[in-house]
Amino acid sequence: MKILIIGSKGMLGKDLMTVLAPYEPIGVDRAEMDLTDAAAILAKFEEVQPEIVINAAGYTAVDVAETPDGQQEALAINGIAVGALAELCAQRDIPLVHFSTDYVFDGMKMGEYKEIDTPSPLNQYGKSKLLGETLLQKYATKFYLIRTSWLYGKHGKNFVQTMIDLGKKGHQLTVVNDQIGKPTWTYDLAESVLTLLVEHRPYGIYHLVNEEAVSWYDFAVEIFQQLEMPVDILPVSSQEFSRPAPRPRNSALGNTKFPLLRSHKDALQQYLSTL
């Protein structure tokens, strides 16, 4: 099984490289293959002759995507490039694994978003990811479209690390308590991808997340409780903690097609023990 992992130096990409190591995956990142360069993608496919492609690359700067330049870049990387990958994989009759986000939903639903729910993104990042979803489903014949949320892991900037860094400085922290979602450890997600592939699960859309929805505030409290760090955290509303990109109020993803991943509390505990 010759696996090409695109975005292999990103937060999720690095954990995918680790979990899939027994299959000796070939990892590429922007320096070796820029996703906005169609000729570079084709040349890499010719060189590697992959049997499975996993696209863990993406434009993930949610707030910068609200600027005109950011919006263009997000659409190119998260949208158009995914269509190009999907076409190439279809021509070669090979599966494409791609990651999307809870931010394709508007957050107005009462309850969890299921795989079949209709996306309606609020921000430019979500819109660019939705374009990727649309082009993937239009061109790819064999695909796993994996929506996930609130990722944290050892190899990238993320909420858990930010909380720890701020907590160590000893200031009072303000964290929003009116956005609900499912924090997910990239390592658990990578292991689920391996299961999808080795068990030849049916192609289609999957919601892969650690379980039990929380607010960012609840999650911050959980992080400091597990670390036994006494930090003063103040719950605030999204209005009080305004950012350029609007976020969905409720972006809890419901996984109805795959064995549920463990709770975010258990995942967090193991993650923290590896730091």
Ligand X SMILES: NC(=O)c1ccc[n+]([C@@H]2O[C@H](COP(=O)([O-])OP(=O)(O)OC[C@H]3O[C@@H](n4cnc5c(N)ncnc54)[C@H](OP(=O)(O)O)[C@@H]3O)[C@@H](O)[C@H]2O)c1
Q: Residues with catalytic annotation?
A: 125
Residue 24: exposure state from Cβ atoms within 10 A (0-12, 13-18, ≥19): exposed
Give the three-class secondary structure for 111. coil
Smallest distance, Å, CB 66 to ligand X? Answer: 16
Q: 206 near 255, Cβ under 8 Å? A: yes
Given candidates 52, 151, 176, 193, which one binds ligand X under the rule CB under 6 A? Answer: 151
CB of 91 to ligand X, least distance (A): 20
Write the interaction track for ligand X spanning residues 78-117; mark x where CB under 6 A is met and - where it is not.
Answer: ---------------------x-x----------------
Nearer to ligand X, 77 or 175 (CB): 77
Nearer of residues 99 and 217 to ligand X, judged by Cβ: 99
| Interaction of residue 126 with ligand X, rule CB under 6 A | no
Cβ(182)–Cβ(210) under 8 Å?
yes
Please, which residue, 172 or 214, has the CB nearer to ligand X?
214
CA distance 224 to 229: 5
Q: Which of 2, 18, 34, 262 binds ligand X (CB under 6 A)?
A: 34
Residue closer to ligand X by CB (options 177, 251) is: 251
Contact 16, 4 (CB under 8 A): no
Displacement of CA 251 from its chain's centroid (Å): 13
Please tell me whether residue 35 binds ligand X under the rule CB under 6 A.
yes
Positive or negative torsion for Cα 102, 106, 110, 115: negative
Residue among 13 and 167 whose Cβ is closer to ligand X? 13
Is residue 249 a contact partner of residue 178, using CB atoms and an 8 Å limit? yes
Tokens 């964290």 sit on residue: 175
Q: Is 209 in the site for ligand X (CB under 6 A)?
A: no
**For ligand X, which residue has the nearest CB?**
10
Q: Which residues contact 94 (CB under 8 A, 6 or more apart)?
A: 50, 51, 52, 53, 142
Shortest reach from residue 170's CB to ligand X, in Å: 27
Within 54-73, the residues that bind ligand X by CB under 6 A are 56-60
Single out the residue of 45, 144, 150, 271 in contact with ligand X (rule: CB under 6 A).
Answer: 150
Two structure tokens written together for 250:
């409720």
Does residue 7 belong to the site contacting ligand X (CB under 6 A)? yes
First to last CA, the chain: 32
The only residue of 23, 38, 120, 156 in contact with ligand X, by rule CB under 6 A: 156
Counting DSSP H helices and E strands in the chain, the numbers are 9, 12
Report the interface residues with ligand X, using CB under 6 A: 7, 9-13, 29-30, 34-36, 56-60, 77, 99, 101, 129, 148-151, 156
